[in-house]
Amino acid sequence: MRIAIVGCGQLSRMMALAGIPLGLKFSFIHDDKTQTRDCVQGLGIIEYTPSKEADTNSYAKQAIADLYQALGEPDCISVEKEQVDVTLLQALAGFCPIYPGVDAIKACQHRGAEKQLLTRLNIPTSPYVYNETAIKAVEVLGYPVMAKSCTEGYDGKNQWVIKNADDAIKFDALRLTDYIIEGFIEFDKEISLVSTRGQSGEIAHYSLTDNYHEKGILIHSISPAVNISDDLQAQAMRYMESLLNELDYVGTLAIEFFVVGERLMVNELAPRVHNSGHWTQLGGITCQFENHVRAIAGLPLGSTEQISITGMFNLIGTEKPPFEVLTANSKLHWYNKVSKAKRKLGHINLIAPTLPLLEQQIAQLNLTCKANH
């Protein structure tokens, strides 16, 4: 069986590395010519997205047929990111299934559509307005608020904090289009849930995970999340299952939550394997990447049982693999990407018998990596 993935980044790399031992073959659609193919080089066929026809801004039927054939005629196609060209996926859907479905990807790649989906399913999320001026938005939401581009916003990019009237005037002067403005949520912490739904409708949940950010970028995660009541656990699973079933979803989905007392509020959805689920590569019987591949290949899902307290530490802006920080209880995953500031270039997974020991080791990693920059 052959699986094609749109994108040539680290998530595609790790999906392929998880699926190759199962006897699966992979192909990759290189849809961003500004990035290299180094992450997936040697793991399968790599083909560029064809150009659109100038007069219709759509793909020629023959060009898509040629792409499908060049990819090795895959049995299904998946994605490693939500910001993909939906018209490309719709064209390829005439040749094989797309997992997760195009409608699910469309809902998650636009913050406004995502908010509407959550509201329709009665899943709590922060109050917001769409394409409204900041001056008018604060009349409804008050200060402070966060403005976010509806697309191309991740790791803190394309986001603006508006704390006062001067900030609001400056934001409105940008004359942006297609954005939302959200009210700030006073939350206790940020957690995430990563789950996988198979083609038969079976759902497997991983442990809830604590996430720690700096300037909008995930620095490290620890699983299982601490101080989570049975009720919060049930809420997270209920919201996840509602989304998965509503979207007839096949594959792995991640939900980022704010914990607000004994309530959860959804911050963001990701229709793919997720950074906060990387810990499953060491701490779970079946990692998120293998379960995603199993789901889209029509295979039974693997166990999501957690075998140890586990942490994940992102290597951001690191110039080379930091072999000197490796320990007997850690594993390094290097992505083969070109080093740039604020870019995720790899991660380290760690297991420990107790939470304090794990936290101590992550703190030491943080100090060492910052000292080396």
Asked if omega into 224 is within 30° of 0 (cis), the reply is yes
As a whole number, mean pLDDT of residues 111-128 equals 94
- Rounded to whole angstroms, how far apart are CA atoms 161 and 167? 8
CB atoms under 10 Å from CB of 197, counted, come to 26
The CB-side HSE value for 78 (13 A sphere, CA atoms) comes to: 28
- Res. 367 pLDDT band, cuts 50 70 90: confident
Residue 181 has which token pair?
A: 């403005």
pLDDT surpasses 90 at 20? yes
Helix (H) or strand (E) holding 149: strand 145-149
Asked whether 145 and 182 are in contact (CB, 8 A), the reply is: yes
Q: How does DSSP assign 150-210, residue by residue? A: SSS--TTTTEEEE-SHHHHHHHHHT---SEEEEE----SEEEEEEEEE-TTS-EEEPPPEE
- Rounded to whole angstroms, how far apart are CA atoms 83 and 218? 19
CB atoms under 10 Å from CB of 308, counted, come to 16
State which amino acid sits at residue 163: K
List Cα–Cα distances, 140 to 126, 134, 178, 350, in angstroms.
Answer: 13, 10, 19, 45
Distance of CA 80 to the CA centre of its chain: 8
- Rounded to whole angstroms, how far apart are CA atoms 240 and 245? 9
Using one digit for the tens of pLDDT, what is the confidence trace for 137-172? 999 999 999 999 998 766 567 889 999 999 999 999
Helix (H) or strand (E) holding 117: helix 111-120
φ/ψ of 203, rounded to 5, equals -125, 135
Residue 333 has which token pair?
A: 């995953």
Asked whether 11 and 272 are in contact (CB, 8 A), the reply is: yes
> What's residue 216's pLDDT?
84
As a whole number, mean pLDDT of residues 175-182 equals 92
Q: Among all chains, which residue has been given the structure tokens 């006062």? A: 164
Among 7-11, 16-20, 171-175, 206-210, whose mean pLDDT is lowest? 171-175
> 326 by DSSP, 3-state: which?
coil
Q: How does DSSP assign 244-267, residue by residue? A: HHHTT--EEEEEEEEEETTEEEEE
As a whole number, mean pLDDT of residues 336-351 equals 94
Q: What is the pTM of this model?
A: 0.94
* Dihedral of the alpha carbons of 362, 365, 370, 373, in degrees to the nearest 10: -140
- Rounded to whole angstroms, how far apart are CA atoms 300 and 251? 12
Residue 114 has which token pair?
A: 């995502």
pLDDT surpasses 90 at 47? yes
Using one digit for the tens of pLDDT, what is the confidence trace for 276-299? 999 999 999 999 999 999 999 999
> What residues does 259 pair with on adjacent strands?
189, 264
Residue percentage of the chain with pLDDT more than 70: 98
- Rounded to whole angstroms, how far apart are CA atoms 366 and 214? 12
> What's residue 153's pLDDT?
63
- Which residue ranges form the domains of the chain, and what is each CATH number? 2-98 (3.40.50.20), 127-183 (3.30.1490.20), 189-372 (3.30.470.20)
> What's residue 155's pLDDT?
59
Among 46-55, 278-287, 326-335, whose mean pLDDT is lowest? 46-55
